[in-house]
Amino acid sequence: DTGVSQDPRHKITKRGQNVTFRCDPISEHNRLYWYRQTLGQGPEFLTYFQNEAQLEKSRLLSDRFSAERPKGSFSTLEIQRTEQGDSAMYLCASSGTSGRSEQYFGPGTRLTVT
Amino acid sequence: GENVEQHPSTLSVQEGDSAVIKCTYSDSASNYFPWYKQELGKRPQLIIDIRSNVGEKKDQRIAVTLNKTAKHFSLHITETQPEDSAVYFCAATSPSSGYSTLTFGKGTMLLVSP
């Protein structure tokens, strides 16, 4: 499968715990995006990288959230001290920068904070 | 920042009928407008997109139209089939992010009855 992949697909954690998600983009794509989707809503932008540089962060991204893309390939999204309000689907997408802006999404990681 | 409104929130049609979903955007500088289809429990899939230099684009049974003056764009599905049932999201680029990130509408649940 040459599409965007995410791991894990599901994560259940207790409030206050830290969690980390991984995204592997389409191999030739140098842009990588993180979105969050709650039930009945469209995806909401969190942050994006071009290669290893984090170029933008949404105001939705509190200090408890951090994302990295150390080698410009896969990315990780960490949430520290999880809260029940963090329960959502975390989606990763990737795109190229050749003038085409199509973003292709991964299957998502569903986080449940109990 | 960009704001995208989508209507209707739900749409029920009979198989073979046409379906139209409409979106408006707030920033006249937005220049890229994709549509995604999301089936239950699956990733959003890009189905068609349009850029601000064209007014209409077709791909088999689906088409998208763009009215830059009115700042709205629409998805048209003809000869609907039960497998078209899904949630459809429109989106627009955010000029404030260098046209890199997407702002999504809240989605339209399309139900096609046999």
pLDDT tens-place string over residues A17-57: 999 999 999 988 999 999 999 998 999 999 999 999 999 89
Mean of pLDDT values over B3-13: 97
Looking at beta carbons, which residues of chain A come within 8 Å of B6? 42
Which residues have CB under 8 Å from B9's CB, separation 6+?
B106, B107, B108, B109
Contact A45 B103 (CB under 8 A): yes
At residue B14, the pLDDT reads 97
**Amino acid in the structure at residue A109:** T
Q: Within 10 Å of residue A75's Cβ, how many Cβ atoms? A: 26
- Cβ contacts below 8 Å, chain A against chain B, sum to 58
Task: Give the residue from chain B lying closest to A107, CA to CA.
Answer: B43
Shortest distance between the Cα of B42 and any Cα of chain A, in A, equals 6
Of A1-5, A108-112, B86-90, minimum mean pLDDT range: A1-5
pLDDT, residue A99, reads 53
* pLDDT per position as a tens digit, A55-113: 989 887 889 999 999 988 999 999 999 999 999 999 999 998 755 579 999 999 999 99
Predicted pLDDT at A113: 98
Indicate if the pLDDT at residue A2 is higher than 90. no
Which residues of chain B have a Cβ shorter than 8 Å from any chain A Cβ? Answer: 4, 6, 32, 34, 36, 42-46, 49, 89, 91, 93-94, 97-107
Tell me which of A15 and B29 has the higher pLDDT.
A15
Among A4, A42, A50, select the one facing B105 at the smallest CB separation.
A42
Residue A1's pLDDT is 52
Mean pLDDT of B89-97: 85
Q: DSSP letter for B12, please.
A: E
The mean pLDDT value for B92-110 works out to: 87
How distant is the Cα of A42 from the closest Cα of chain B, in angstroms?
5
- pLDDT, residue B98, reads 72
Q: Residues 6 or more apart from B1 whose CB is under 8 A from it?
A: B27, B94, B96, B103
Query: What pLDDT was estimated at residue B96?
Result: 72
In terms of Cα–Cα distance, which of B18, B21, B17 is closest to B8? B21
Q: How far apart are alpha carbons A34 and A32 in whole angstroms? A: 7
- Shortest Cα–Cα distance, A105 to chain B (Å): 6
Q: Are A69 and A52 in contact (CB under 8 A)?
A: yes
Of B34, B46, B102, the CB nearest to A45: B102
Residue A10, min C-alpha distance to chain B (Å):
12
